[in-house]
Amino acid sequence: GNSVTQMEGPVTLSEEAFLTINCTYTATGYPSLFWYVQYPGEGLQLLLKATKADDKGSNKGFEATYRKETTSFHLEKGSVQVSDSAVYFCALSRYNQGGKLIFGQGTELSVKP
Amino acid sequence: NAGVTQTPKFQVLKTGQSMTLQCAQDMNHEYMSWYRQDPGMGLRLIHYSVGAGITDQGEVPNGYNVSRSTTEDFPLRLLSAAPSQTSVYFCGSGSTDTQYFGPGTRLTVL
């Protein structure tokens, strides 16, 4: 079946450090891939997405590249800020699946000044 | 344009009580869905809908009912609440491959 696996957290970084959060997936066909972010006490916001192999999604300094050969969609940011502290969720959906998302378990990021 | 709205934000129920979580969207999206979020488990799909009058079960449907009489609204009903339904509930709305979420409802069942 389809599934998403994320690196376990919490991840603690100092401000301006480089961030990588690993995400790998299992799916048949060609899923769309997403990163959602949940700031403390808030709902989920779509951070970025990629819909086909080798696509790069980017937003707010975050990037992720759809790698079909390694079934991965790792999230990266060159210089994190305290305001990036949140829980990050990797997710996939199959085409025409009516918005059915399959989520990873989430990775908590804490950025210290 | 309010996006996806959910009410209430917080709710405490006693075991056996019933209630309805409301969800509305003003983006004319065909697809709507309900997820629950539990610690360490990400979000799991409860029910979803691909249009008015059409609903189907997700991964964890037991104990929940839905209906979709209009494009805008997708209420989630708990007929007899159980402590295992203590969770944060998110409603999603979107197009073919992108879902947007409401702010969530935090439900506690005692």
**Between A and B, how many CB-CB pairs are < 8 A?**
70
Q: Which of A77, A91, A108, A81 is nearest to A24 (CA)?
A: A91
Six-digit token string for B58: 């997700």
Q: Which residue has the higher pLDDT, A54 or B39?
A: A54
- B102 closest CB neighbour out of A43, A91, A96: A43
Q: Taking residues B68-93, report their average pLDDT.
A: 96
- A32 closest CB neighbour out of B32, B33, B97: B97
Q: Which of B96, B93, B109 is nearest to B6 (CA)?
A: B93
Nearest CA-CA distance, residue B27 and chain A, Å: 15
- B97 closest CB neighbour out of A44, A93, A103: A93
pLDDT at A96: 64
What is the average pLDDT value for chain A, to the nearest integer?
93
Q: Rounded to an integer, what distance in angstroms lies between the CA atom of residue B109 and that of residue B15?
A: 6
- Residue of chain A whose Cα is closest to the Cα of B94: A99
Percent of chain B with pLDDT strictly greater than 90: 86
* Tokens 């990588």 sit on residue: A20
B42–A103 C-beta distance less than 8 A: yes
Confidence of residue B68 (pLDDT cuts 50, 70, 90): very high
| Per-residue pLDDT reduced to its tens digit, A30-46 | 899 999 999 988 889 99
